[in-house]
Amino acid sequence: MRKTKNFSVISVEGLLLLLITVVFAACNSSSGDNAIAASKDGVHFFTGTLEAATALSKKENKPIFLLAHASYCSSCKKMISNIFPLKEVGDLFNKNFINIQVNIESEEGIKIVKDYEVAGTPNLLFLTPDGKIINKSSGYQNKEELLALAGTIMPINN
Within a domain: 127: yes
Measuring CA to CA, which residue among 99, 136, 98 is closest to residue 115? 136
Within a domain: 118: yes
Tens digit of pLDDT for each residue in 109-156?
999 999 999 999 999 999 999 999 999 999 999 999 999 999 998 654
Q: How far apart are CA 107 and CA 100, in angstroms?
A: 15
Number of domains in the chain: 1
Within a domain: 83: yes
Within a domain: 4: no
Within a domain: 77: yes
Range of the domain at 113: 50-151
Collapsing DSSP to helix, strand or coil, 99 comes out as strand
Task: Average the pLDDT over each of 10-14, 31-35, 43-47 and give the range with the smallest value.
Answer: 31-35
Tens digit of pLDDT for each residue in 55-82?
999 999 999 999 999 999 999 999 999 9
Beta sheet of 98-103, edge-to-edge order: 98-103, 64-69, 123-127, 133-138
Q: How far apart are CA 130 and CA 25, in angstroms?
A: 36
Name the helix (H) or strand (E) containing 138.
Answer: strand 133-138
**Burial letters for 93-127: b for 16+ Cβ neighbours within 10 Å, e otherwise?**
bbebbbbbbbbbbeeebeebbeebebeebbbbbbb
Within a domain: 36: no
Residue 11 has pLDDT above 80, yes or no: no
Within a domain: 11: no
